[in-house]
Amino acid sequence: MAKMRAVDAAVLVLEKEGVDCAFGVPGAAINPFYSALRARGSVRHILARHVEGASHMAEGYTRASAGNIGVCIGTSGPAGTDMITGLYSASADSIPILCITGQAPRARLDKEDFQAVDIAKIAAPVAKWAVTVMEPGLVPYVFQKAFHTMRSGRPGPVLVDLPIDVQLAEIEFDIDAYEPLEPYKPAATRAQAEKALAMLNASERPLIVAGGGIINANASDLLVEFAEIVGVPVIPTLMGWGTIPDDHRLMAGMCGLQTSHRYGNASLLASDFVFGIGNRWANRHTGNIPTYTEGRTFIHVDIEPTQIGRVFTPDFGIVSDAGAALQVFVEVATEWKAAGKLRDWTAWGDECRERKRTMLRKTHFDQVPLKPQRVYEEMNKAFDRDTCYVSTIGLSQIAGAQFLHVYKPRNWINCGQAGPLGWTLPAALGVRAADPDRPIVALSGDYDFQFMIEELAVGAQHKLPYLHVVVNNSYLGLIRQAQRGFNMDFEVSLAFDNINASGDAEAGYGVDHVAVAEGLGCKAIRVRSANEFQEAFNTAQTLMKEHQVPVVIEFILERVTNIAMGADINAVVEFEELAERGEDAPTATLALLD
């Protein structure tokens, strides 16, 4: 046993739990913890410009990693409340991050001290566990429980709040005797797997819906192996995109109201059996539940018992980690195939592939200002199979999911349920911190980009290069499109004549993103026409390598483009087809989309 401050013990525990990077902002109430970080020098610290930004950096770090957990740190009061959005985003998508906050001394907690707030109580609804540590001797064991909690069952975030006198108190602790706790993960049984395979065998037109739980379990290879053994097409959810490569013969497209493919929706509607693994039946995937479920049998595999039946009751539910379930599914399917017991779904797979070949949306437009579809077409040409895309919400993200291609797990980094504007930029920095080598392309509309644009300075200061594609129509595009249902276009335009804009800025488009990005220490390029694409992408890559900073490419879009979406998976409005016929889309179907 050794005598040390509680915060020194905490940092030793972080090391043992595999933490090698943290994001945060120092402050008076958390400075003891920072002194322990500095003394050890084992955990890289990246200084954010906003504590919410730090929480999203931690998210990006975890989402890009195959096991490491992102950490964000802030002082008392507003630093903790700034982290709430990150906690919510992480909780909603089953992402473990550790938020550490400073706090007023214990004796002052009920005295309305400066920046003293009950952050554990505030964070509780959006964290898997939130605690204020009141006894110094508990500090290392609270951190031990925090990591066990984050990794067990459905993963999720934890907040640990440390009063300053607790941080400074001396305790006895032996790090050499410390061992991380083994996480609890339920596992499917062979009997459950045999029942699931028997139900699958009874179907004629089955699909596998692959969710983000497969990525969390690092089980994408098992998913592809299972799909290939049984010969059943796969529809990944938005959070499961990349579990199977986009060009795999069994990848049948995504289904949903917005981030979906025409062929994915059509194949789901033509199916009679859906095998959901590690997914949660999110509403933007399912749309109207009766439409989604009618005439279909469902199996649902999820690590969290209360997810089974939460949205609708499946015909068979299995509580299991996705990786553990797929392992036993593969074993049983392999045996059944060798014994000739598996049904042949070749004809059904051919049907799905034909829809994938023919049911495509138009992307090749030459006009100026640019149509967004052309931007994504050119991105597919410019970026290779290893590219990791980072995005949050808006027409930019929806169109990205409709037109881009993802070939590997953790190469689509997206906050699926919460969708906070501003998330993309700090999350991309977290992805870069987690992986110094992979190609990273962030995708934002102009409003998402403006929300936390100050974090570009973090990328410049800490040498975190990545490419940020900004599609600029000077609108809150998704909200403008949703307002069609109310016959209005109200307070969603970002356009104004910027009297300070540089000579190259687009007149009337408002914020000069190129000037702001360069003022924050980064590089930026503006693109107006299709013949500039190749040079812009090549120049951006050169600038990133030369300067090791984020590089922004801003594409000037036409002000109004409606992206395909609808109120139900059988009623997605294809605006470009309507426009080519000289028709307008029905507005009522879009009224409640956002």
The answer to whether 317 and 309 have CB atoms below 8 angstroms apart is: yes
479 is annotated as an active-site residue: yes
Per the DSSP assignment, residues forming a β-bridge with 210 are 236, 277
The answer to whether 513 and 446 have CB atoms below 8 angstroms apart is: yes
CA distance 271 to 267: 6
Catalytic residue of the set 11, 19, 25, 98: 25
166 is annotated as an active-site residue: no
The answer to whether 590 and 258 have CB atoms below 8 angstroms apart is: no
Nearest to 434 by CA among 54, 74, 73, 63: 63
Q: How far is CA 146 from the centre of its chain?
A: 22
Amino acid at 382: A
The answer to whether 271 and 352 have CB atoms below 8 angstroms apart is: no
What stretch of H or E contains 116? none
- Number of CB atoms found within 10 A of residue 386's CB: 11
Catalytic residue of the set 109, 168, 479, 516: 479
The torsion angle over the Cα atoms of residues 579, 585, 591 and 593, rounded to 10 degrees, is -50
Nearest to 208 by CA among 142, 129, 168, 264: 264
421 is annotated as an active-site residue: yes
Q: How far is CA 553 from the centre of its chain?
A: 22
Both tokens assigned to 254: 């995504």
516 is annotated as an active-site residue: no
Catalytic residue of the set 11, 51, 162, 342: 51
Catalytic residue of the set 133, 319, 421, 525: 421
CA distance 99 to 123: 10
- Phi then psi dihedrals of residue 125, to 5 deg: -65, -20
441 is annotated as an active-site residue: no
The answer to whether 241 and 408 have CB atoms below 8 angstroms apart is: no
CA distance 437 to 318: 38
* Active site positions, annotated: 25, 51, 421, 476, 479
